[in-house]
Amino acid sequence: MIEINLLRENPALIKASQVARGADVGLVDLAADLAEQKKLALQQFETLRAKQNAHGKLVAQAPKEEKAALVAQAQELSADVKKQEAAANLAEQELMVVLHKIENIVLDGVPAGGEENFQVIKEVGSKPAFAFEPKDHVALGESLDIIDIERGAKIAGSRFYFLKGLGARLELAMMQLALDQASEAGFTALITPTLVKPEIMQGTGFLGEHSAEVYYLPADDLYLTGTSEVALAGYHSDEILDDLAEPKRYAGWSTCYRREAGSHGKDTRGILRVHQFNKLEMFSYCKPEDAEAEHQKLLAWQEQMLQKCELPYRVIDVAAGDLGSSAARKFDVEAWVPTQGDYRELTSTSNCTTYQARRLNTRYRDQDGKPATAATLNGTLATTRWLVAILENHQQEDGSVLIPKALRGYLGGVEKIAPKS
């Protein structure tokens, strides 16, 4: 959520961010007007309440013969105070509705525009040069008997699947490698709830324009999470953290659920875009002034994981219009997918500055001991879709797939997955 003082002091900055995102600039002026209305309504309420308190003292001190009239006046004042308090609360609610629609302020250097306007920061690794026609991950999964999409669709519908045998073990190996790396870097491991309350989902920014992507259970008034970022962002909601001299880092392991309502038929083949998958998510709480440096650290840890999986990849600076409401900057790390002849996103890392923490009331004590809003960042360290790139990049002419060396120890020394004879 945008800071009220910034809205009053520098609305031009917020407008410029909305323009870069292609978002509604008019919301900024509307929010400024509502903020002023709230301020006036609150002032009127406080004036009336002070008058009511002063009048109460008069009633207490008044002679008996004057009390009846003064009590009647006190009742009128009480009604006026309640009415003005309701007006102030309504003004607050109307302001909050609009503030929640304004997206986070993009950081300097973020490219303007939409999905296609990203900037490539670097490319790493060599793309495989096959002396044969490579198979896509679906064909490989079927021939190796490690992915069963047909039966997944039979029992749950499209975009569901079974991971089977070494396919299931390969995902677990990748997740465990990521968890070990995170633990060595000082992250605290958490297995997170996958159902959260509306205020937590709202606080993280996932109930805005992308709310159609979220599964909702109306009988319980709970949401299924599409990332453990949601639960991790809510972990310290309504708390004041005593010490953020060093970032507080968590690694959340969870199953994730996404409706993919906005995918419009994209990636219907295979497991690149599915309704259910597993993911290990890094999440950091830090001081706002430390957030950009922490962002670079999260990105470096992600790159380490792709290098351990021996994948060619590139890093892109995501354009403002493709950031989502909470991120002020986002880097995507995309692996080369041979049969598509293109890079596809495997992971991203976002600097949400103070946007989520302000909505969730997560604070820390600054050097003077005063509460201040924390910054939050997140980044995926491993997830199911990585199997797409691992299978396709490491396939061999005989139909087998070599296991990246870093994963073999988690598979009992298995070096490759061979077709069933």
Last residue of a domain, one of 55, 70, 99: 99
Q: Which two tokens stand for residue 114?
A: 């939409």
49/123 same-domain check: no
Asked if residue 106 belongs to a domain, the reply is no
Q: Would you call 348 a catalytic residue per the annotation?
A: yes
| Confidence at residue 62, expressed as pLDDT on a 0 to 100 scale | 80
Please pick, among 348, 359, 363, 392, the residue that the annotation labels catalytic.
Answer: 348
206/342 same-domain check: yes
| Confidence at residue 265, expressed as pLDDT on a 0 to 100 scale | 64
Q: How many structural domains are present in the chain?
A: 2
Asked if residue 107 belongs to a domain, the reply is no
171/234 same-domain check: yes
167/140 same-domain check: yes
Q: Would you call 115 a catalytic residue per the annotation?
A: no
Strand partners, 163: 147
Q: Would you call 273 a catalytic residue per the annotation?
A: yes
40/86 same-domain check: yes
**CB count, 10 Å around CB of 91?**
20
Q: Read off the CATH number of the domain in which 62 is found.
A: 1.10.287.40
Closest CA to 323 of 347, 345, 349: 349
Last residue of a domain, one of 99, 123, 153: 99
58/179 same-domain check: no
> Structure pTM?
0.91
| Confidence at residue 60, expressed as pLDDT on a 0 to 100 scale | 80
- For residue 45, give the amino acid letter: F
The arrangement of strands across the sheet holding 216-217 comes to 195-196, 222-224, 216-217
67/188 same-domain check: no
| Confidence at residue 3, expressed as pLDDT on a 0 to 100 scale | 87
281/409 same-domain check: yes
Q: Would you call 21 a catalytic residue per the annotation?
A: no
Asked if residue 105 belongs to a domain, the reply is no
Q: What is the mean pLDDT of each run of 10 residues along the chain (421 residues)?
A: 88 94 94 93 92 84 80 87 92 91 95 95 97 97 96 95 97 98 98 97 84 92 96 97 94 95 71 95 98 98 98 98 95 97 96 96 94 97 98 97 98 95 69
Alpha carbon distance 247, 287 (integer Å): 7
Please pick, among 273, 314, 344, 365, the residue that the annotation labels catalytic.
Answer: 273
Last residue of a domain, one of 36, 64, 99: 99
| Confidence at residue 264, expressed as pLDDT on a 0 to 100 scale | 63
Please pick, among 345, 365, 400, 408, the residue that the annotation labels catalytic.
Answer: 345
Strand partners, 75: none
Residue ranges making up the domain that contains 78: 4-99
Please pick, among 159, 169, 258, 363, the residue that the annotation labels catalytic.
Answer: 258
Q: Read off the CATH number of the domain in which 169 is found.
A: 3.30.930.10
| Inter-residue contact 251 to 377 (CB < 8 Å) | no
138/32 same-domain check: no
- Alpha-carbon distances of 12 from 5, 30, 207, 293, rounded to whole Å: 13, 13, 26, 26
175/279 same-domain check: yes
190/335 same-domain check: yes
Q: Would you call 365 a catalytic residue per the annotation?
A: no
